[in-house]
Amino acid sequence: MSIKKKPKIPKSRKIANLLLILAGVILIGNWLLPQITRPRIPKVPYSLFIQQVERGEVQAVLLGDNEIRYQLRPEGEEPPRILATTPVFDPELPKRLQAQGIDFAAPPPPQNAWFNVLLNWVVPPLILVAAFQFFMKRDPQGALSISKSKAKVYVEGESAKITFDDIAGVEEAKAELAEVVDFLKNPQRFLEIGARIPKGLLLVGPPGTGKTLMAKAVAGEAGVPFFSISASEFVELFVGTGAARVRDLFEQAKTKAPCIIFIDELDAIGKSRSGGGGGFQSGSSDEREQTLNQLLTEMDGFAVGAETVIVLAATNRPEALDAALLRPGRFDRQVLVDRPDLAGRKAILDIYAKRVKLEPDVDLQAIATRTPGFGGADLANLVNEAALLAARRHRKLVGQQDFYEAIERVVAGLEKRSRVLSDKEKKIVAYHEVGHALVGALMPGGGKVAKISIVPRGLSALGYTLKMPTEDRFLMDEREFREQIATLLGGRAAEKIVFERVTNGASDDLRRATNLAEKMVTTYGMSQVLGPLAYDEGGKPNFLGMGDGNRRRSISEKTAEAIDAEVREIVETAYQQALDILEFNRELLDTISLKVLATEVIEGEELQGLLDAVKNPAIDS
């Protein structure tokens, strides 16, 4: 295992730190040294000093602005005592001293006063200024340069080169970005004919689909410098810092043109400035708004024939971006980097599988089939998880079973063997999961049941039924949606049939079934009563899936009641269908549930042999 070395502190920073420490020592020493070396003189109240003056006990007085020191007349052979008091406003004091014949005067000025003033008030500031200038000159990107851009610059030859060969599963996006590479390699060919080179391209898509990797591949293919920065690094506490950093970034980019500026998570500074859509809370003085305005100004500053600087940006929240960013002339094109299909997942697995040692019989096509909805980052994590599992078991090659277990780990979470269930709870979970499997076995549209387990996984799953798709689906009809809802309600139906009571174990199933039924009615127009109408507002895509749900339009109370009634009818019909299937196959339900209780997990050919015996009451009765 390699040990990461601590970063070496630059010599210039060490010298600057020593100068700062020296200035601090001088300032503290000039204050502390007099406090230590000054003789300790007893202090008395001012009233006692006046009494001693009137009694003739005082021999001499030094009248200072902050302190009065006086010497008492000696008594016998004892040395004279020196006392001090704090002065008060007393215009009669000189007359009293003169009346008693007491010598009084102001304290003599300190020796070398000019040197003390120089040491206290001139030398430390000079040292601070010198340290500041030295630090700024030798380390312009240091902590004191808050207006400097924090972008990382990748130049060809200084880091591992990434090309389009390192990316798979997003062929359409690669084809779109290939034009950008041509712009960077041969800008003059486009300028001579009068074409305008695009100033900006916006990469949109779900997290983990490879947007940042795509931008690096464009720079690698074109062989140009690549400036990479996150949009959140522009925003600081001080208003105007972000705008200054934007200016500095574009000035640096122009000096290295042709080049690429990549701004990740653009929505951090590019949110809509209107009242809705997560806009700014304050007015034009807001730091993010000033940063956005500066970015818009800089992108407008690239004229025809100027340096070839192309701005690539990435976001998974395109619906939140300001309209001024998306207009032609700024981000001219939007490139969708979506989750890959089956062929794309296979190509991505081919790339990442080269980095690990595989057994000869590993079927990456089968793994790609079992991973619908996985992005590039998910598949890279899957290959790594499979390799970790194999290494944990002291094997030198990664096998097919390691990939299957890694899929379950990613989808359902880690096994929780420490979560001990009672015998009654295990029985309920077993019947619940087998209920899902039996109903799902008769609903081929949702995939193939591959595994039943009552081993707790993740945060709250006490068991799970793994249903693997046989192909990627993009369109589904009304019947398939109803079959999905029936499969979701199979666990609740099994509890009702066997135990005559239901538990809270089906809460997530009920939520998903209700949401699916509501989409059928309000979004897909699959209602015989309400007709082919859309009752939700829709809107721009939200790749994070964190919107406000299936928000309905402004509708009448009567229409809302009709929607609720239709949703209820769809769910109840599917629930009754699940009840009919499980009652018709009650003996098989008991048989499989007992096997699951005995082994905790059933999968493979054994499970398929049992599920092949399930009968459809609508056909076999």
| Residues of the binding site for ATP | 205-212
Q: Is the dihedral of CA 335, 339, 342, 343 positive or negative?
A: positive
Beta-carbon neighbour count of residue 396 at 10 Å? Answer: 8
Asked if 575 contacts 409 with a C-beta cutoff of 8 angstroms, the reply is no
d(CA 443, CA 349): 30
d(CA 250, CA 298): 7
DSSP label at residue 43 = B
Would you state the structure tokens that stand for residue 519, as one six-digit string?
């989409």
Residues annotated within a binding site: 205-212, 432, 436, 509
Annotated active-site residue in 221, 287, 408, 433: 433
Instruction: Please list the residues that pair with 61 across neighbouring strands.
Output: 70, 104
281 three-class SS: coil
450 three-class SS: strand
By C-alpha distance, which of 557, 538, 560 is closest to 548? 538
Report the length, in residues, of the chain: 621
Asked if omega into 225 is within 30° of 0 (cis), the reply is: no
Q: Which helix (H) or strand (E) holds 69?
A: strand 68-72
The DSSP annotation for 143-202 comes to: TT-TTS---EEE-BTTB----GGG--S-HHHHHHHHHHHHHHH-HHHHHHTTPPPP-EEE
Residues annotated within a binding site for Zn(2+): 432, 436, 509
Query: Could you confirm whether 603 is annotated as catalytic?
Result: no
Amino acid at 394: H
Residue 134, exposed/middle/buried by CB under 10 A (0-12, 13-18, 19+)? Answer: middle
84 three-class SS: strand
Q: CA-based Rg of the chain, rounded to a whole angstrom?
A: 40
How far is the CA of 262 from the CAs of 119, 236, 249, 519, 606, in angstroms?
Answer: 51, 19, 11, 38, 52
Give the count of alpha carbons within 13 A of 118, CB side only. Answer: 4
d(CA 128, CA 144): 13
583 three-class SS: helix
How far is the CA of 5 from the CAs of 2, 8, 142, 158, 351, in angstroms?
Answer: 9, 9, 21, 20, 31
Asked if 521 contacts 535 with a C-beta cutoff of 8 angstroms, the reply is yes
Q: Which residues are catalytic?
A: 433
